[in-house]
């Protein structure tokens, strides 16, 4: 079978500032929540490796981009670090401007299109200290940061994203303990989510006002929600999970309004955030041109069976249980389910229920621990990753054939990078990084396989 992709399909990879730049306190960069958390609680991070020197992209970007070129990529997504670009007194850090200008220009010179994301989990610490996304003032400062980015880099950058996985700071920082401030408080979580959504719309508003000729969107991690059975209870539980975890950002971003059922739910639970009436107009009139979709795994849901004990805090999971479906395929390293058809199902959902908006797969990938054991003659033979990508791409191809407006595929990630609390535990890259040897880079087998795929625009 031959899988051919449309002309000008975007092939490449995705990354984020904190996970690859390093130089965490160099040239005027401020502390972000990760730098701070690592300072006060290094034991939380796998092998106690923090975000200090992650992949050293700040110094080695030219070599990394040269390798991307050699491997045939035509696009690359990275993020701008808010705490690097904007000084605490809100002036612009010229050293950071120089760095990002150099990265953008080097990419363009190598015919790799820069896709820029403005927020990838990395709240500046001085803003977290005044409440982070809980504080409306921070939303306004983010809007200014976004405008600064458009003003400085928008002449060359034509694909912008306001946030990566906006539900994650909510879920992991305010409903779980994986991101700072690591509290469990549903009311605060809803306020955070609401402000992130509003900030996205305000950034889009700024972009439209600037009259630049690019596109702006948001990157959402979609986790298709599959009920255990068709019983009313399982279906209801699955719908609630979908509303909270997918539609809370997908609907307002694309359709301009929160789902009515989500509003009902939030009201019933007494979780309504503080808002201004004009906000809903801002959200309504500033929807995305383009959507990035990160897809790793679905969620299997069943009606709530586990007991809620007195004193247990309310969380999203107070309303459903995860269903451990027998026989599901699992990536044993990360523990995540592998369900390739999910990428097709979410694409059809976007085609049918979200205006068939242009979108691309902005992340998909497989984290593996201890990849060195697959080394043959110095190169990691990651056939499992080739299979993972190709099995997903078959479904991407089918979705396109059936009319989905799907424009590209980016792997998470280009080179093995630092990943939050997991640090360097699971490796996702096309390119191996040797931490003990000045970040020596060796492309894995999948990198060459992907190069061929790009050359043929198919496989």
Query: Among 312-320, 337-345, 396-404, 420-428, which window interacts with ligand BG6 (CB under 6 A)?
Result: 420-428
Q: Alpha-carbon distance 378 to 153, whole Å?
A: 39
253 binds ligand BG6 (CB under 6 A): no
412 binds ligand BG6 (CB under 6 A): yes
On whether the CB atoms of residues 450 and 52 are closer than 8 A, the answer is no
- 110 class by beta-carbon count within 10 Å (0-12 exposed, 13-18 middle, 19+ buried): middle
On whether the CB atoms of residues 107 and 76 are closer than 8 A, the answer is yes
Among 367, 408, 429, 443, contact with ligand BG6 (rule: CB under 6 A): 367
The helix/strand/coil state of 241 is: helix
32 binds ligand BG6 (CB under 6 A): no
13 binds ligand BG6 (CB under 6 A): no
Q: How many Cβ atoms from other residues are within 10 Å of residue 129's Cβ?
A: 12
Q: Shortest approach of ligand BG6 to residue 379 CB, angstroms?
A: 23
Residues 430, 435, 439, CA angle at the centre, nearest 5°?
65
Residues 45/49/50/56 CA torsion (nearest 10 deg): -150
16 binds ligand BG6 (CB under 6 A): yes
266's tokens: 């939030």
The H or E element spanning position 294 is strand 290-294
Kindly write down the DSSP assignment for every residue of 400-437, as one continuous string: HHTT--EEEEEEE-SB----GGGTTSSB--SEEEETTT
74 binds ligand BG6 (CB under 6 A): no
> 280-299 mask for ligand BG6 (x: CB under 6 A)?
--------------x-----
81 binds ligand BG6 (CB under 6 A): no
Query: Among 48-56, 67-75, 414-422, 432-440, which window interacts with ligand BG6 (CB under 6 A)?
Result: 414-422
Among 318, 422, 442, 457, contact with ligand BG6 (rule: CB under 6 A): 422
Q: Which of 165, 363, 371, 432 is catalytic?
A: 363
99 binds ligand BG6 (CB under 6 A): no
363 binds ligand BG6 (CB under 6 A): yes
Residue with tokens 């805090």: 313
426 binds ligand BG6 (CB under 6 A): yes
For residue 363, indicate whether it is catalytic.
Answer: yes
Residue nearer to ligand BG6 on the CB measure, 275 or 336: 336
Residue nearer to ligand BG6 on the CB measure, 395 or 412: 412
423 binds ligand BG6 (CB under 6 A): no
Per-residue b or e along 35-57, where b marks 16 or more CB atoms closer than 10 Å to that residue's CB: bbbbeeeeebbeeebbbebbbbb
Residue nearer to ligand BG6 on the CB measure, 388 or 412: 412
Among 32, 55, 164, 364, contact with ligand BG6 (rule: CB under 6 A): 164
As a whole number of Å, the CA-based R_g of the chain is 21
400's tokens: 């396109």
On whether the CB atoms of residues 287 and 253 are closer than 8 A, the answer is yes
- 380 class by beta-carbon count within 10 Å (0-12 exposed, 13-18 middle, 19+ buried): buried
Residue nearer to ligand BG6 on the CB measure, 206 or 363: 363
Among 113, 122, 134, 165, contact with ligand BG6 (rule: CB under 6 A): 165
**Chain residue whose CB lies nearest ligand BG6:** 419
Residues 176, 179, 42, CA angle at the centre, nearest 5°?
120
Residue nearer to ligand BG6 on the CB measure, 225 or 362: 362
Euclidean distance between the first and the last CA atom of the chain, given in angstroms as a whole number: 8
Question: Which positions lie near ligand BG6, rule CB under 6 A?
Answer: 16, 19, 164-165, 221, 294, 334, 363, 367, 412, 419-420, 422, 426
Residues carrying an active site annotation: 363
């Amino acid at each position: 079978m031959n899988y051919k992709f449309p002309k000008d399909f975007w092939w490449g990879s995705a990354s984020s500032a904190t996970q690859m730049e390093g130089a965490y306190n160099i040239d005027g960069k401020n502390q972000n929540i990760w730098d701070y958390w690592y300072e006060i609680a290094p034991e939380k991070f796998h092998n106690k490796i923090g975000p200090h020197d992650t992949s050293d992209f700040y110094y080695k970007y030219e070599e990394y981009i040269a390798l991307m070129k050699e491997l045939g990529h035509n696009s690359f997504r990275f993020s701008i670090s808010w705490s690097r670009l904007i000084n605490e007194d809100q002036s612009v850090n010229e050293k950071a401007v120089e760095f990002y200008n150099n990265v953008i220009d080097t990419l363009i010179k190598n015919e790799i299109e820069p896709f820029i994301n403005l927020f990838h989990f990395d709240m500046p610490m001085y803003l977290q200290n005044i409440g982070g996304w809980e504080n409306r003032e921070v939303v306004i400062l983010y809007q200014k940061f976004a405008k600064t980015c458009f003003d400085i880099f928008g002449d060359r950058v034509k694909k912008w994203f306001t946030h990566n996985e906006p539900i994650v700071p909510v879920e992991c920082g305010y409903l779980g303990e994986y991101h700072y401030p690591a509290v469990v408080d549903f009311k605060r979580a809803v306020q955070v989510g609401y402000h992130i959504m509003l900030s996205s719309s305000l950034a889009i508003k700024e972009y439209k006002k600037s009259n630049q000729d690019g596109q702006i969107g948001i990157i959402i991690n979609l986790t298709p929600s599959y009920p255990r059975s068709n019983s009313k209870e399982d279906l209801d539980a699955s719908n609630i999970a979908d509303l909270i975890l997918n539609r809370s950002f997908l609907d307002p971003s694309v359709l301009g309004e929160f789902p009515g059922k989500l509003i009902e739910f939030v009201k019933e639970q007494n979780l309504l955030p503080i808002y201004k009436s004009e906000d809903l107009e801002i959200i309504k009139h500033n929807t995305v041109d383009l959507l990035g979709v990160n897809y790793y795994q679905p969620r299997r849901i069943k009606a709530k069976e586990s007991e809620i004990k007195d004193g247990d805090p309310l969380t999203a999971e107070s309303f459903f249980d995860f269903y451990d479906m027998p026989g599901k395929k699992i990536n044993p390293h990360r523990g995540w389910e592998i369900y390739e058809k999910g990428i097709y199902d979410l694409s059809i959902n976007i085609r049918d229920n979200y205006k068939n908006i242009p979108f691309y797969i902005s992340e998909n990938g497989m984290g593996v621990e201890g990849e060195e054991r697959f080394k043959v003659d110095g190169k990691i033979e990651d056939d499992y990753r080739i299979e993972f990508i190709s099995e997903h791409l078959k479904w991407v191809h089918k979705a396109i054939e059936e009319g989905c407006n799907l424009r590209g595929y980016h792997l998470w990630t280009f080179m093995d990078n630092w990943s939050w609390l997991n640090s360097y535990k699971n490796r996702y890259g096309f390119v191996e990084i040797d931490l003990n040897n000045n970040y020596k880079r060796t492309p894995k087998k999948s990198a060459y396989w992907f190069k061929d795929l790009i050359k043929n625009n198919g496989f």
